[in-house]
Amino acid sequence: MDHRKIYPFPEHFLWGAASAAYQVEGAYREDGKGLSNQDILNGTNAFHDTTVTADFYHRYKEDIALMGEMGLKSFRFSVAWTRIYPDGKTLNPKGIEFYNKIINELLKYKIEPMVTLYHFDHPYELQKSYGGWYSDHMIDDYLRFAKTCFQAFGDRVKYWLTICEQNNIVLYPNLIGGYLEHVDIDTWRIQVTRVMSLCSARAVNLCHKMIPDAKIGASFSFPPSYPASSSPDDVLAAMNENDFRDFYGMDLVYKARQNPWVVRYYEERGVDIRLSREDTDILCSCSPDFIAYNYYRTNVAKSCPLESEQIQPEFNLTGKKGSITYPTFPGLYQGTGNETLEKSDWDWTIDPKGLRISLRMLYDRYAVPIMVVENGLGAYDQVEDGKVSDPYRIEYLKKHIEQLQLAVCDGIEVWGYYVWSFVDVLSTSNGYNKRYGLVYVDRTDRDPKELRRICKDSYYWYQELLKVNGNILDRRNVI
């Protein structure tokens, strides 16, 4: 819809930036921290190294001061489970101390903390002893951790996320999931989805009980899938991708519902995924306050015959445009490129309107307020004369925020928007070659150098945007 009037963002809109513990903190063995499944991956490829990353553990004061100077309204960060419970079972007070310092420092600058309980890093001990997310034992261990966080930080933290991207965790099992090689991939995927959904539901209930004035939701990855053509086969393929990849898990947490055709899909592959009465009761008992999602790009799907060979989703690991392999799920969909859109060097489409489309899809489906908790552009940034000029990132953010405002004009209740990321983080799939930050961290994959911070041009641009509460659409028509 084209609007005759432009509606402003709500007065207390949460303009934020985000990060995740294993991608920024470093200090991977300090003050009693245990090893996580992410730490165990160190050295398994050319870039993965959690030992130092951006060294936020030691430089948080400097980074939060930069957030304050910028006028940031909210900062989303995750708690490293292994700082609080190094082996998954034994409390480490030093971990609580660290996050208390972060939260207090944020509040000093009037920055609203948003805490992600789980962002891809769980105690390796739990992985070793019972297989991590594949086991129901994870539920009690996760809830113990969540309860400790609610107890320790709930007096000051009023926005919580239970689990980040359970749908991507199962999509990329080796990279972020803690996959067990001896388990059939379908069985693993669906059991992990079930365990994580139950964890989210129970954490929501626990949070509501322990911190009545807090808001809590789960966050998902949501790159909506478009049909490759107007052929009904491709339209169905795109529906299949959206349902199978994203809505199945969201529906569990937000509607306590199992999509019947996804149940059939697994049944036909010999995996019975129907939930027990007890599981359904737990899911039905929870009502999250909002749905959160990470938006970077959109996908395209075309039909995929049953006889095709299965190709699992992969990332472009080279940073050379055009080197991505698209996934193939026989009988469901196969991914393909979108010739109408620009792409990043890692082949992610740049699709600002897709943000509005995804907001509309989620609001129609779940009818709860929405938080966009990650959005940003991964790029090769360069330092020249001590400065980082990143007009491509400014362009990306500007266009997405315009579409966000159009979604507000559509009447969608959006509570917040978080740029990924505040400082450059260790990219999950590409290390320090691919940078997302508003603040540059001077290091390479191999050499942490001095880790000097340099505010990029996008930092100053976002600072200006915050002054007008994000209202950058043509303001002559603002109501």
Assess 168 for contact with ligand BG6 (CB under 6 A): yes
Strand (E) or helix (H) holding 460: helix 457-467
Binder of ligand BG6 out of 112, 241, 374, 381 (CB under 6 A): 374
State how beta strands 328-329 and 14-18 pair.
Answer: unpaired
Question: Binding segment for ligand BG6 among 122-130, 160-168, 190-198, 238-246 (CB under 6 A)?
Answer: 160-168
- Closest distance between ligand BG6 and the C-beta of residue 475, in Å? 32
DSSP string, 49-94: --SSTT-HHHHHHHHHHHHHHHT--EEEEE--HHHHSTTSSS--HH
| 428 belongs to the binding site for ligand BG6 (CB under 6 A) | yes
367 contacts: CB under 8 Å, gap ≥ 6: none
Using CB under 6 A as the binding criterion, the count of chain residues that bind ligand BG6 stands at: 15
Q: Considering only 8-16, 39-47, 205-213, 426-434, which stretch makes contact with ligand BG6 by CB under 6 A?
A: 426-434
By CB under 6 A, tell whether 429 contacts ligand BG6: yes
Tell the smallest beta-carbon distance from residue 180 to ligand BG6 (Å). 22
**Closest distance between ligand BG6 and the C-beta of residue 434, in Å?**
5
Q: Which of 16, 378, 448, 470 binds ligand BG6 (CB under 6 A)?
A: 378
Q: Is 167 near ligand BG6 (CB under 6 A)? A: no
> Does 200 help bind ligand BG6 (rule: CB under 6 A)?
no
The single residue among 55, 105, 165, 243 that binds ligand BG6, judged by CB under 6 A, is 165
Cα–Cα distance for residue pair 247/305, rounded to 1 Å: 22
Cα dihedral angle (222, 147, 37, 243), rounded to 10 degrees? -20
Nearer to ligand BG6, 92 or 358 (CB): 358
Nearer residue to ligand BG6 within complex by CB, 21 or 102 = 21
* Closer residue to ligand BG6 (CB): 23 or 405: 23
Query: Could you tell me the two tokens for 349?
Result: 């489409």
Residue 221 as a binder of ligand BG6 (CB under 6 A): the answer is yes
Provide, rounded to whole angstroms, the least separation between the CB of residue 82 and ligand BG6: 17
Per residue, the 3-state secondary structure of 204-248, as one string, reads HHHHHHHCCCCEEEEEEECCCEEECCCCHHHHHHHHHHHHHHHHH
Q: How far apart are CA 210 and CA 144, in angstroms?
A: 13
SS3 assignment, position 432 = coil
* Distance of alpha carbon 32 from alpha carbon 86, whole angstroms: 7
How far is it, in rounded angstroms, from Cα 143 to Cα 141?
5
Contact pick of 430, 433, 458, 471 for ligand BG6 (by CB under 6 A):
430
Query: Which range in 34-42, 59-67, 128-136, 428-436 contacts ligand BG6 by CB under 6 A?
Result: 428-436
Q: How far is the CB of 6 from ligand BG6 (least distance, A)?
A: 30
Residues 6 or more apart whose CB falls under 8 angstroms from that of 479 comprise 5, 6, 7, 8
Residue type, 394: I
Interaction residues for ligand BG6, span 76-105 (CB under 6 A): none
Asked whether position 424 contacts ligand BG6 by CB under 6 A, the answer is no
193 touches ligand BG6 (CB under 6 A) = no
Active site residues: 165, 374
Q: Segment 276-305, which members bind ligand BG6 (CB under 6 A)?
A: 294
Q: Does 19 bind ligand BG6 (CB under 6 A)?
A: no
Q: Give the residue with the Cβ less far from ligand BG6, 288 or 319.
A: 319
53 binds ligand BG6 (CB under 6 A): no
3-state SS class at 10: coil
DSSP 45: S
Q: Which stretch binds ligand BG6 (CB under 6 A): 136-144, 152-160, 164-172, 299-307?
A: 164-172
Q: How far is the CB of 20 from ligand BG6 (least distance, A)?
A: 5
Min separation Cβ 293 and ligand BG6, Å: 10
164 binds ligand BG6 (CB under 6 A): yes
Give the length of the chain.
Answer: 479
Q: How many CA atoms lie within 13 A of 89 on its CB side?
A: 5
Residue whose CB is less far from ligand BG6, 242 or 405: 242
Q: Which of 76, 202, 434, 435 binds ligand BG6 (CB under 6 A)?
A: 434
Closest CA to 377 of 444, 451, 456: 456
Q: How far is the CB of 142 from ligand BG6 (least distance, A)?
A: 18
Smallest distance, ligand BG6 to C-beta of residue 118, A: 11
Question: Residue with structure tokens 């944020």?
Answer: 106
Q: What angle do CA 472, 473, 479 make, to 5 degrees?
A: 105
- Other beta carbons within 10 angstroms of residue 184's beta carbon come to 11
Task: Specify burial of residue 271 (Cβ count, 10 A radius: 0-12, 13-18, 19+).
Answer: middle
Q: What character string, x for contact with ligand BG6 (CB under 6 A) and - otherwise, covers 20-39? A: x--x----------------
By the 10 Å C-beta count (0-12 exposed, 13-18 middle, 19+ buried), 55 is classed as buried
Query: How far is CA 94 from its chain centroid?
Result: 26
Q: Which residues bind ligand BG6 (CB under 6 A)?
A: 20, 23, 164-165, 168, 221, 294, 374, 378, 420, 427-430, 434
